[in-house]
Homo-oligomer: A and B are copies of this chain.
Amino acid sequence: MTDRPLRRQPLYSQIKQQLLRRIGDGEWQENDALPSEWDLADELGASQGTVRKALSELVADGLLYRAQGRGTFVAPAPSEWGEGLLLTPGLFNEQPDDLAREFLGISRGNASDDMAAALQLRRAAPLLRVRQLWRWHGIPVAVDEAFLPADEFEGLDARWLRGSSGVYQALQQRFGIRLKVLCEQFRALMLPREESALLGVTGMVAEAPALSLIRISGSMEGVPLEWRQRYCLTHNWAYTARRA
């Protein structure tokens, strides 16, 4: 690249941003192959090594995957359940069972102070609230609330959510936005009344300990866009996080 008077950001970083935008714009669909590293280098006026560095970061971010000898591909959107897996406690190498998701409803509300702070919104900002139920072999194991800034996602309604396989897929289809997990918090607490009913915890012992998960997700650039709160019953399962 000959004319590049101002370099605020390294070239590979600019290329990464550009590819991020083009993926978001739908230039390549899930599992589509990108142009080869050499073709991209040609097109962008950079060297193969520099393009490769940009691609490597996108692979690390989970947006792309590579197959030696075949090409570089757009990764499928992350599953609605998230990165954690439900496994039998103590076992780590098991394959996770598939979870079924049930859309419960969408409503409007206002941000709590915690939510407003985490999502960088003003106090009591309007939010969309999406509720989902998770079943494992038919048995309810978790309830989910996703809170999204209403201003950003005006037009997201039950039609989009019922038809899609979850909030993340709906956001990608409707707004072309892909979320990634920014941080997570875990707590143990007694299941609140309303969630107990949804999860079918009944009987003389009306209380059960539940794993509370709060997750902030955001754009690939790190702008927070979702506060998700989940209650998991874990007397028969454990929530697993794998690491590289």
Contacts and interface: CB of A to CB of B under 8 A. Distances in A.
A188 B209 contact: yes
A209 B232 CA distance: 13
Contacts of A239: 185-187
A210 interface: yes
The dominant DSSP class at the A interface is: strand
Contacts of A188: 188-189, 209-212, 232, 234
By CB atoms of chain B within 10 A, which of A89, A90, A184, A186 has the most?
Answer: A186
A177 to B, nearest CB: 18
A154 to B, nearest CB: 26
Contacts of A92: 118, 183, 185, 216
A209 B185 contact: no
A184 B90 contact: no
Contacts of A139: none
Report the contact-size class of chain A (Cβ under 8 Å from the partner). Answer: 35 or more
11 contacts: A84-B186, A90-B112, A92-B216, A183-B242, A183-B243, A184-B243, A186-B211, A187-B211, A188-B211, A189-B234, A214-B238
A185 B240 CA distance: 4
A197 to B, nearest CB: 18
Contacts of A210: 188, 209
Nearest to A84: B186
Given A89-B114, A92-B216, 15 more contacts: A87-B185, A90-B112, A90-B114, A91-B114, A91-B117, A92-B118, A92-B183, A92-B185, A182-B243, A184-B241, A186-B239, A187-B211, A187-B237, A188-B212, A189-B209
